[in-house]
Amino acid sequence: PYEVLKVCNGIEEVIDYCKEWEKKRDTYPYEIDGMVVKVNDINLYEKLGFTSHHPRWAIAFKFRARQATTKILNVVFQVGRTGAITPVAKLEPVEIGGVIVSSVSLFNEDFIKEKDIRIGDTVLVERAGDVIPYVVMVIKEARTGKEKPIEFPKECPSCGSPLVKPIGEAVYRCININCPAQVVERIIHFASKDAMDIRGLSEATVKKFYKIGLLKNIPDIYRLDFKIIKNLQGFGEKSANNLKQAIEESKNRPLYRLIYGLGIRYVGEVTAKTLASAVKCIEDLKNFSITDLMKLPDIGDKVATEIYNFFHNQQNLKMIEELKQLGVNVCNPEEEKKGKLSGLNFVFTGTLKCCSREKAKEIVESLGGNVLDSVSKKVHYLVVGEEPGSKLQKAQKIGTIKIINEEEFLQLIGHENI
């Protein structure tokens, strides 16, 4: 609303005004979690530029997270797609910022011990960023002596397999790859928006299909019997056909989405793109040694080991072959010519005048190059904008990285690409 806009003189006045509105946040008929502070001079916008995800001439002043006290009624243990066991506290429902909160993650055993959390405790809970519930502290003064310590299970709550706690990790894990809870979570991840993006195959639908035996593994997605689905409660001709179409469309996703969708531990979207760009087809990854993998951008020993183990597991290779036989794309397109920046790794530091960091990244990737977050011997070019950071000194110390300014970068990519 326009009545909230104010031109302030100096940062102290800005902070005072934001705090004033923090006190008045409950007077509005809708939730607000902060204010945006902008430079009041459009001519400075270009000079200040952008980071990789936001303009430097605008910044958010976040209000303190809303908090409330409630009681821990019980603790259940959930199994993730990689077998990680997460303790989740069930709470007496409490309203925090207009949302009813009835459960909160306790993360791992170390978190529980650090805060000395027990079943029956009264706890202070906030919605971190006004979104995710988080236990701030235990109100120990409210203890009655009836509180019970939280005991971690020794066996998987889903399949009963013994749990292990790998050296150097804070979480317990179920190492049974066929654990029902893990299977369900892997299917959910595979169908998710950032992976194969199968609209209509929601978490609830996956669990329903698994329960009645329609889905037992990821390849089963492409073997679903739609004659049965059309007659299920909550489905009809139209919704079943929409799901069928979404599944068919998912067969042609780019290779990196398939790699990400397989749920390899530590492999996010960026690493999935790196792996996809290093091979013609997904099967080629089984030929990479751990050393080969570590030569790829942003892949260290721990990640390389997980990737190597995944592609040397016969069950995983069998699953990939099944997906291939079912018509899922497992290769990069027959390209074409390689881009002019193919195989080159870039890092940016400082502010660019020509465009935002995100735009520059898109251009480099469209020309076949990669953009990395940090400086290492794997980097070919460091592009230096205004007010560069510590990356410049690191690149100079390495000595093998070509350091170029913005104009040289534009000449390299071609001005017409901006």
Pairwise CA distance, residues 39 & 59, whole Å: 9
The verdict on 265 and 313 lying in the same domain is yes
| Assigned token pair, 249 | 């469309």
Closest CA to 311 of 281, 282, 353: 282
Q: Do 177 and 101 form a contact (C-beta atoms < 8 A)?
A: no
pLDDT at 335: 57
Per-residue pLDDT tens for 327-374? 999 999 875 556 889 889 999 999 898 888 888 998 998 898 999 988
DSSP line for 2-47: GGG----SSHHHHHHHHHHHHHTGGGSSS---EEEEE-S-HHHHHH
pLDDT at 205: 98
Q: Which residues contact 94 (CB under 8 A, 6 or more apart)?
A: 68, 69, 70, 100, 101, 102, 125
The verdict on 98 and 50 lying in the same domain is no
Domain holding 300: CATH number? 1.10.150.20
The verdict on 244 and 271 lying in the same domain is no
Q: Which residues form the domain of 36?
A: 11-62
Count of alpha carbons within 13 angstroms of residue 182, beta-carbon side:
21
Q: Hey, CA dihedral for 245, 216, 84, 107, is it positive or negative?
A: positive
Domain holding 27: CATH number? 3.30.1490.70
Q: Is residue 55 part of a domain?
A: yes
Pairwise CA distance, residues 43 & 36, whole Å: 19
Q: Hey, CA dihedral for 173, 176, 181, 185, is it positive or negative?
A: positive
Closest CA to 36 of 10, 13, 65, 57: 57
Pairwise CA distance, residues 292 & 308, whole Å: 10
Q: Is residue 277 part of a domain?
A: yes
Q: Do 176 and 158 form a contact (C-beta atoms < 8 A)?
A: no
pLDDT at 2: 52
Pairwise CA distance, residues 150 & 120, whole Å: 10
pLDDT at 356: 87
Q: Is residue 6 part of a domain?
A: no
**3-state SS class at 409:** helix
pLDDT at 357: 86
| Separation in Å, CA 286 to CA 33, 213, 308, 320 | 48, 31, 7, 11
pLDDT at 66: 87
The verdict on 78 and 55 lying in the same domain is no
Pairwise CA distance, residues 113 & 126, whole Å: 19
Q: Is residue 276 part of a domain?
A: yes
Q: Is residue 394 part of a domain?
A: yes
Q: Any bridge partners for residue 386, and if so which?
A: 351
pLDDT at 65: 86
| Separation in Å, CA 124 to CA 68, 145, 387 | 6, 19, 43
Pairwise CA distance, residues 16 & 4, whole Å: 13
Question: Nearest 5°: phi and psi at 242?
Answer: -65, -40
Per the listing, tokens 């369900």 go with 184
Pairwise CA distance, residues 309 & 285, whole Å: 11
pLDDT at 4: 78
Pairwise CA distance, residues 113 & 149, whole Å: 10
pLDDT at 168: 86
Q: Is residue 241 part of a domain?
A: yes
The verdict on 282 and 356 lying in the same domain is no
Pairwise CA distance, residues 237 & 249, whole Å: 18
The verdict on 108 and 56 lying in the same domain is no
Closest CA to 37 of 23, 19, 52: 19
Pairwise CA distance, residues 319 & 281, whole Å: 15
pLDDT at 115: 97
Domain count, the chain: 5
Q: Do 176 and 161 form a contact (C-beta atoms < 8 A)?
A: yes
Residue ranges, the chain, pLDDT below 50: none
> Do β-strands 173-174 and 163-164 pair in parallel, antiparallel, or remain unpaired?
antiparallel
Q: Is residue 321 part of a domain?
A: yes
Pairwise CA distance, residues 66 & 76, whole Å: 25
Pairwise CA distance, residues 209 & 187, whole Å: 11
Per the listing, tokens 């009836």 go with 146
Residue that finishes a domain, picked among 251, 282, 304: 251
How many beta carbons lie within 10 A of that of residue 46, not counting itself? 11
Q: Is residue 339 part of a domain?
A: no
